[in-house]
Structure 1
Amino acid sequence: MALILVTGAAGGLGYDTASALAGDGHDVVVHVRHRARLGDAGHDAGRWAGVVTGDLAHLDEIHGVAAQAAAFGRFDAVVHNAGVLHSPDTATVNTVAPYVLTALMERPGRLVYVSSSMHHGGSTDLGRLAAGTASYADSKLWVTTLALAVAARWAGTASHAVDPGWVPTRMGGPGAPDDLAAGHRTQVWLATGSGITPPTGGYWYHRRTQAPHPATRDEDFRARLLQTLAEHTGVPLASG
């Protein structure tokens, strides 16, 4: 069985992903912003291998999450699920936090980054990160690019991005048209499954690869993104 970290697991797709993995017998460590969120979501704390806490909107707390996670040793997989939609902290939670956690934590066997079809409307203007003007679409373009950049950089670690669909979670709203049950299955499969093709660097929707924004395949943009994130956070991403 695998040791897996799922961020943003207090509710929604993160909770569904963590629950499915635990139900399959894996050792799941869940990240929540505050431990009280476990009670809010009706979690059975006994089913988790551990809990790490921290507000991913703040750089110091992102570092704290990485330090807490290190106490569990090397993870077999990390699912970067945490995200926000309409917030001044959109880029920090959706892009900066996955980047910093990836850079600081011991390399897992598999990395899964939750993206969105909205990433197709994102901007390659990385000045928006420092300016604090990044949109949700921007943040998802950047985290998708991060996933594919890591896939190209780190041999031995499978790294994928996933569009879970527009599903009726708290973020998606009750009128979202996609299947809620299908919203987490690809993440579970990428974290634990076999026979995945391509074995790394895929952008997935319901276990099928899709064509991501062309910028995600652009080596120059990938390099600019990693450099921008390193300068913004003071945390470099190790080369292969």
Structure 2
Amino acid sequence: MGRIFITGSSDGLGLRAAKQLISKGHKVYLHARTVQRAQDARKACPGAADVLLGDLTSIEETKALASSLSRLEPMDCIFHNAGMYLGPYRAQAEGYPAVFAVNVLAPYILTCLAPLPKRLVYTSSSVHFGGSTSLDDFGWRERHKAGRFSDRSAYADTKLYNTMFGYAFARRFASRGAIVNSIDPGWVPTKMGGAAATDDILESERLYVILAEGSGEAEGKNGCYWENGMRGPAQAKKDAYDEQAQDALLKKLEEITGLAVPE
């Protein structure tokens, strides 16, 4: 069976999907931000192979997490599930807000440094339709200085970038045989979604499982955007398909992190 690593899996959808995958015989590695959360994850999911530590708001800790992955047997899937939503700017890695560090810098760094798995999945959101591909004020740093930081709009930008990752890395890694997709798990009742969320969380779990496995309707599907409630690939925002915008985003992230996407 497969070896799967899921970021942000000490609770929420990441943990729920991990339990489903373990029940199907897969070897699943969890991820937690702190020692306490790792202990909680082990108790909640005793069948996990291990829990890897790393605070994704930190470039250095994210690089260390990639090193931890490199010391393990190669993964069949790395599922970039960790994410932040609302909250203050919270300057973190290189002065970028925590939402950009966790949602964008961390998956980029892990993709560059961790051994390439057979499958990569990036968690997006329907909110990405409100995002912008403009890199003029990447990370909202200048708008923050001017007192105009919007957590909802910044989040939308990060989710658009996550969707673009699905297409950009599918192109970049096609010659190496990797399958790359992005997913909108929907508005579901997790800590992030809240109790009022109305989408089917069991359908989100199912999508997580088939994308991690490369099974069901996801079998052989590469460079696709998946959406809760649809039995097959969905349509992302038109801007996400723009290859020039994708390449510009990767170039910007290379400048910030000092890491180039491996060929």
- TM-score of the alignment, normalized to the shorter chain, above 0.5: yes
CA distance in 2, matches of 1:47, 1:68: 20
Asked if 1:150 is matched to 2:169, the reply is yes
CA distance in 1, matches of 2:258, 2:134: 20
Contact 1:38 1:45 in 2 (8 A): no
CA distance in 1, matches of 2:45, 2:120: 24
Structure 2 counterpart of 1:122, from 96, 106, 131? 131
Report the equivalent of 2:93: none
Contact 2:42 2:51 in 1 (8 A): no
Give the residue type in structure 2 aligned to 1:200.
N
Where in structure 2 are the equivalents of 1:88-103 lying within 5 Å?
88=89, 89-103=98-112
CA distance in 2, matches of 1:22, 1:197: 19
Contact 2:38 2:53 in 1 (8 A): no
Where in structure 2 are the equivalents of 1:86-235 lying within 5 Å?
86-87=86-87, 88=89, 89-132=98-141, 135-155=154-174, 156-194=177-215, 196=218, 199-206=221-228, 207-235=231-259
Give the residue type in structure 2 aligned to 1:97.
A
CA distance in 2, matches of 1:42, 1:29: 10
Deviations 1:138-193 (A, max 9, x none): 00000110111000111200000001000010100110111122222112101113
Distance 1:227 1:75, change over 3 A: same
How many equivalent residue pairs? 239
Deviates more, 1:92-101 or 1:131-140: 131-140
Deviations 1:55-90 (A, max 9, x none): 101100100110111111211001100000014311
Give the residue type in structure 1 aligned to 2:58.
H
CA distance in 1, matches of 2:256, 2:109: 10
Deviations 1:82-120 (A, max 9, x none): 000014311110111111101101110000111100000
Deviates more, 1:38-47 or 1:26-35: 38-47
Give the residue type in structure 2 aligned to 1:139.
T
What is the root-mean-square deviation of aligned Cα atoms in Å? 1.7
Contact 2:31 2:53 in 1 (8 A): yes
Give the residue type in structure 1 aligned to 2:246.
R
Distance 1:28 1:125, change over 3 A: same
Give the residue type in structure 2 aligned to 1:148.
Y
Q: Unpaired segments of 5 or more residues in structure 1?
A: none
Cα distance, 1:214 vs structure 2? 1.1
Larger helix percent: 2
Deviates more, 1:129-138 or 1:67-76: 129-138
Flag the structure with larger Rg: 2
Contact 2:38 2:51 in 1 (8 A): no
Contact 1:118 1:140 in 2 (8 A): yes
Contact 1:4 1:79 in 2 (8 A): yes
Asked if 1:53 is matched to 2:53, the reply is yes
Deviates more, 1:93-102 or 1:83-92: 83-92
Report the equivalent of 1:31: 31
Q: Report the 3-state secondary structure (helix = DSSP H, G, I; strand = E; otherwise coil) of the residue aligned with 1:43.
A: helix
Cα distance, 1:43 vs structure 2? 2.9
Report the equivalent of 1:15: 15
Cα distance, 1:210 vs structure 2? 1.1
Deviates more, 1:189-198 or 1:164-173: 189-198
Contact 1:130 1:232 in 2 (8 A): no
Runs of 4+ in structure 1 off by over 4 angstroms are none
TM-score normalised over the length of structure 1? 0.94
Cα distance, 1:42 vs structure 2? 6.9
Deviates more, 1:116-125 or 1:198-207: 198-207
Contact 2:77 2:117 in 1 (8 A): yes
Give the residue type in structure 2 aligned to 1:9.
S
